[in-house]
Amino acid sequence: MGGKGFDWLRQTGTETLRPFLFTIKGTCGTRSGRGWKGFYPMDNPILVTGGAGFIGSNFILQWLRQETGGVINFDKLTYAGNLRNLASIATDARYQFVHGDIVDRDFVREVLQRHQPSAIVHFAAESHVDRSIHCADDFIRTNIEGTFVMLEEARAYWANLAAAGRERFRFLHVSTDEVYGSLGPGEPGFCETTAYAPNSPYAASKAASDHLVRAYHHTHGLPTLTTNCSNNYGPYQFPEKLIPLTIVNARRGKPLPVYGDGLNVRDWLYVEDHCEAIRAVLSRGKVGETYNIGGDTEKTNLEIVETVCSAMDELKGDAQLFPHKKLVIFVKDRSGHDRRYAMDASKIKRELGWAPRETFESGMRKTISWFLENDEWVREVTSGQYREWMSTHYALEP
């Protein structure tokens, strides 16, 4: 949790650095640390909350490849936040990391005033359903209270901008398909007008944050945008989620846990495609609107695991592990496990011209290759607290 991150690399004459302390307390534990926050001027930066996480870090990397403006990465660095994801751009003059908590209202206000962002892209959230079932406190705090703080401070900041800045400013809130609940076989996919019916503490906390965003637009006129995406996969995903967990465990010859009968269905979206969609919404989306983002690829959990096993078999590794499918074990189903999600992404395709570039097959090849080629990253994130979580949650050693 502690450490200076990468701010210490930028000790230039235009930057001011000073230490700060933070302590986060809750019934699920206490986290404390020391970091640094700094400042140096950028032209037209955006502020990304949760930018050291899986989707946030992929978004920042893509933004700096494709866009000209700068990025302020505002992240608390919980267990799933990793600055190694962004090591390749740590010294880029258009990038700065700020270590802080979105629930810290005074600090959020200071960051907005210092950096003067033209937009906020709000990824920061607790996102793992299993963790929300075991301990919902952090989900309520970050996803609901944190979004409230970001909206309140964004509203005050936006209200004091000059006319041109007010016209340009956007608050883009990144959400999930899980707010819509569960679909039966053959039912049409979720669309932007589907009624909310969240079934897990995680989904309920995201639904609450979505409603807050909507309310701040309709009540206060804050120029908001909301995206609801399907299951993402790709590089840098923390291996508590199905695809990276299966890849990591298959390579190590560890059990591959599958909930229940393995027939729960999800729509799968490669993370780079998701990031492109967010950029499209930010630049061309209609203020106050919601856009569903999906990969148009429905797969059961068991199909996902078998796809990884087949790919690992083709690599001709340890013969004792062939076929990798023999590592599959079925474990007790998750409480309240939604049976099926599917997304109708026709609105964003029709209005903004976005469509995923990757097929499921090409996205999986890229994902599996990345995890196999990044052993050091995997070793770092699968030590310590991760091993304790896996051992407790699945009653097996990862």
Answer whether residue 133 shows pLDDT above 90: no
60-74 average pLDDT score: 97
DSSP letter string, 4-16: -TTGGG---TT-E
The answer to whether the bond into 323 is cis (omega within 30° of 0) is yes
For residue 39, the model assigns a pLDDT of 54
CA distance 316 to 270: 26
CA distance 100 to 36: 9
Q: Any catalytic annotation for residue 296?
A: no
Nearest to 238 by CA among 101, 389, 45: 389
CA distance 259 to 244: 16
51 token code pair: 């930018």
353-367: pLDDT as tens digits: 999 999 999 999 999
Burial class of residue 164 in the structure, from the number of CB atoms within 10 Å of its CB (0-12 exposed, 13-18 middle, 19+ buried): exposed
18 token code pair: 């000073």
Tell me, what amino acid is at 241? K
Percent of the chain topping pLDDT 70 = 85
The beta strands (E) that lie in 246-322 are given as 256-259, 265-270, 290-293, 298-300
174-188: pLDDT as tens digits: 999 999 999 999 999
Burial class of residue 58 in the structure, from the number of CB atoms within 10 Å of its CB (0-12 exposed, 13-18 middle, 19+ buried): buried
Q: Any catalytic annotation for residue 318?
A: no
Total-model pTM: 0.88
CA distance 81 to 66: 23
Compute how many other C-beta atoms are within 10 angstroms of the C-beta atom of residue 304: 21
For residue 385, the model assigns a pLDDT of 54
Assess contact for 58 and 88: CB atoms under 8 A: no
Nearest to 72 by CA among 80, 64, 35: 64
Place 191 in a pLDDT band, splitting at 50, 70 and 90. Answer: very high
Dihedral sign computed on CA atoms, order 280, 281, 286, 287: negative
Place 318 in a pLDDT band, splitting at 50, 70 and 90. Answer: confident
Of residues 70 and 25, more confidence is placed in 70
Q: Which of 3-17, 69-83, 121-135, 305-319 has the highest mean pLDDT?
A: 69-83
CA distance 48 to 43: 15
CA distance 95 to 72: 6
208-241: pLDDT as tens digits: 999 999 999 999 999 999 999 999 999 999 998 9
Give the SS3 label for residue 209: helix
Catalytic residue among 7, 75, 138, 178: 178
The CATH superfamily holding the domain 7-237+269-300+335-361 is: NAD(P)-binding Rossmann-like Domain (3.40.50.720)
388-397: pLDDT as tens digits: 544 454 455 4
Strands 224-229 and 290-293: parallel
Contacts of 164 (CB under 8 A, 6+ apart): none
315 token code pair: 């690599």
> Phi and psi at residue 178, in whole multiples of 5°?
-70, -15
CA distance 325 to 344: 32
Answer whether residue 69 shows pLDDT above 90: yes
Catalytic residue among 7, 75, 101, 177: 177
47-75 average pLDDT score: 97
Give the SS3 label for residue 93: coil
9-48: pLDDT as tens digits: 333 233 333 434 444 333 344 343 334 444 566 778 999 9
Give CA separation, 211 vs 219, 225, 239, 342, in Å.
12, 12, 30, 21
Of residues 32 and 204, more confidence is placed in 204
Instruction: Kindly list the domain boundaries of the chain, sorted by start residue.
Output: 7-237+269-300+335-361
Give the lowest-confidence range in 34-48, 87-101, 110-124. 34-48
288-293 average pLDDT score: 98
DSSP label at residue 190? B
Of residues 108 and 29, more confidence is placed in 108
Q: Any catalytic annotation for residue 152?
A: no
